[in-house]
Chains A and B, each alone.
Chain A
Amino acid sequence: MLPESAFVASEGVGADDTIWVLKNMPLEVGKDGLQSALLQSGWDAVPIRAQGPNRWLVAAKQEPESKHFCINGSYVLVEPIKRQRENHAVTIKAKQVKVDTTITATPGAMQVATSTRIQEVKAEISDHMEMKMQAANQRIEQLSCALERLQAEPCRQETEVKGEFTAIKNEQAFARQKIGEVEASVVQSGQTVIQTMQQMMTNLEANMKQWMVKNDSCDAKRQRAEETPRNDSFSIKS
C-alpha cells in the first residue's frame, strides 16, 4: 500500500468464519460503529466491508442469537451468505514429483542428499514419461480386454450355434421317427381295413350265392304250381 493510496481498512476472514450480510443498516453507522453495535448485541462478529449504502458484510464463527438487530433504532436483518465454494466441492489432487537424489556420505558421517536442476528436470521428465506410460499401459490393457472380448464372442456364438444345430438335428430325428411310426401305423390300419373289407365281401358273396340258390329252387316250385289250376269256386272262368 503506497502512502498516497486511499483504502478502507478491512479485517481478514478466517477459514472457518461464516460470512453474513447485514441489511437495512442505518446509513450513519460506519465500520467502527457497527463493530461496537455487534459487541453490544453480544455477537462476536467482525465487519469486513460495505456492500452498499446500507449493507455490510461481517464475518463470524458463530451464528447470531437473533437474525434481527436493532441498531440506533433501525431494524437490521442478518442473513448468511451462501458461499459458492460450499456448493461446489473442489477436489485437489496432490502431485508427487520424483527427484533423483544422490546420497553422498560426508566425512562427518552425515548423509546429504544433493540434486541438480538437470536431475530435477530429468525427474520431472521421467515423471511425465511415467504418467504417459501409465496412460499407455491403461490404454493397452483396455485394448487387450476389448480384443479378448472380441475373440471370445465368436467362440461363444459358435458354441451357441452348434448347440442349436444339434438340438435341431435331434428334433428332426425325433420327428422323422415319429413320422415313420405314423406311416407304419397308417399302413397297418389300411391293411386291416382292406382285409376286413375283403372278408366282408367274401362273406357277402357267399351269402348272396346261397340266397340265389335258395331263390332258384323256390321259383321252380312256384312254376309247377301255376301250371296245375286250382279248383277255386270263386274264380272267374272265361
Chain B
Amino acid sequence: MATPISRLSRAVNIRSTKADMQVQSSPEVHEVIVIGSGAAGGMAAWNLTRQGVNVLMLDAGRKFNRSEFWTHVKPWEWQQRLDAGHKPPQIVLDTAEQPYITPLGQNFSLTRVWGRGGKTNIWGRVSLRYSDIDFAGPERDGWEIPWPIRYKDIAPYYDRVDQLIGVCGGDEDLDVLPGSKYFLPPPPLRCGEYLIKRAAKKIGIDTVAIRRAVLTEEHNGHPKCHYCGACGSGCDVGAFFNSSDYLIEPALQTGRLKILDNAVVARILVGEDGLANGVQYFDRYSKQERRVYAKRVVVGASCVDSTRILLNSTSTKYPNGIGNSSDVIGRYLSEQIRFTIRGFAPELVGTQVYNDDGIGGAHIYLPRFNHRDGRRRDYIRGFGCQFWYTGAQTDLSYAKTLPGFGLEFKKAVKERYPALLNLHPFGETIPKAENRITVKGSPVDQYGVPIARISYGIGENERRMSKDMYDTMLEILHAAKAEIVPYQPGYLEPNGSAIHEHGTCRMGADPKRSALNSFNQMHEVKNVFVVDGSAFTTASEKNPTLTILALAWRATDYMAAEMKRGNI
C-alpha cells in the first residue's frame, strides 16, 4: 500500500501555491482543544464538557449522515447502484488524499477515517477488558517497559464505559478476561459456533460469549440491534456505539462543545514557557492555514496521525517533536498478527440455511489460554481467537478452493454453505524501537506538512507465536472433524490490517523511556494529554477500543481535577 510517487509530487506542487495565503487565527484562548473525534477524542470531549469545561474539537472531516449509509444494500444491489451513478458514503480516508509512505518491501496497511466519530462508525465492536495478564506482561517476561497502571486502576472506568455505551456479554470472569456486571444479554449462538465451542472444549480450551458493543436491548435512548449484520457499512440506526451519536451529540447538548469541521491538524504550537498554547491546522478543502489557541491540548487523532502531529510539532525547545526529548515518540509501533483458517462442520453440510447475520461478527470468543495450560512455549505473550463469518455469509471465496466445475461443483459449494467454520486468531506483537513512525525527510502532503513514514515488521517472537496459533487452530478443526479449506501454511494478514495500532507515544513511569505518565499526560509538557491507542505500553491480543475509552475517561477525569487544582 505504499504511495505512488506521482501522488506525492502532486501534493508537493500544491504547496507552492500556498505561500500567498494569509494565516487566519482567532484570538480566543480556549480552555481545551481536543484533536480528533473518534473513541479517544469523543470521550475526552464528552467527559470534559459534562464537568463544565469548554472544549473546542478539531475534526478532519464532518458528520456522516447515517441515513446515507449503505447498510441495507444487498450484495447484488451494490453494482446496480454504482451503475446508476450512486456512490456509498466515503467513510474510509482515501490514501490518495492523505498519503503515507513505507520502506520498500515493508508495506503497512493503514485504515483511517477523517470525519465525526472516526473509525467507530465502522468498527469491529469487540470489547474486551485488559487484565493484569496484559498490564503485567512486561514485568513477567522482561520485554520492554512496564505499564504504569494495573487492572484495579482502570476497572472502575471499564464499568462506566460498559454502562455508557452498552456492551453485550456473558457471565464469564477470567484471569485473562475480567467480567462485567453491566453486560447486556449476549446473542444466541449460531450452529457452527456451538460446534467450535464443543471442539475447543475437547482439546481443553474454553470459549466465552462474545463481548461486543452492540445493543441487544434498547440502551440509554439508543435503539437495539436489528440483526442485519451489515455493521461494516455503518449502522443506519446507531445500534452500536459510535462516538458521534453516543458522545459528541450529548457533549454538544451541554453547550460547551464547539466543533471545527474539516480541520486537518498539522502541529501543536508551543509558547515560551514550553507549554502547548494552540494548534495549527489546515482547512481540508480550501487548504487555508489557520491557528487556534488553548490552555490545554488533548490529542486523539488515532495512533498514526497523532504521532505524525506530535513529531511535526518541532520547536527550539522540542527539536525532536513536542514532548519527545526521550526519543520514544514514533517508536514501538505494535499491531497484531492474524490469519484466517476455515473448515466445514460435517454435522452442518447439506443442512437448512439460516440467517446467520446476528450482531455482525462472532457470538463467541476464545480468550488467551497459553499462560495456563502448563505447556512450555518458545515465545512470549499470547493470542486469542475470533470467529467472524461463521455460518451462512456473503463471502464465497471458499468455493474457489473446491475442485472441478459444473453441476457437481455447484452442488459441492451449496452443501458446504451452511457449514463454514471461520477461525480468526489475533496475536500480540511485542514493542520494538525500530518499528516506528517518522516524519523527518518525508514528502509533504497537500498542506505542505510532512507525511508519516511507517517502518514496521514482525520478528521471531511473532513467527513462533503464529506457528502455535496455526497448530491450535488446526487442533480445533480436527477436533471438530472439519473438512479443512486449503490454506497457505504460515500466511499472515498484511501488517496494519488489524487496524489496531498502538505504542508510539507510550505511557510509563520512567520519563526517559516513555512519553506519558499513568494519566496519559506528557511527562515533558504537562498541558498535553494523548489519549488514543498510541498511549498503550503494549498491544495485547485484544481489540483496543474499550480500553481507549476507559483510559481517555480516566485521563480526562485527572485533567479536569488538575485544572480545578490550578496545576494545568
Q: Do A and B bind each other?
A: no
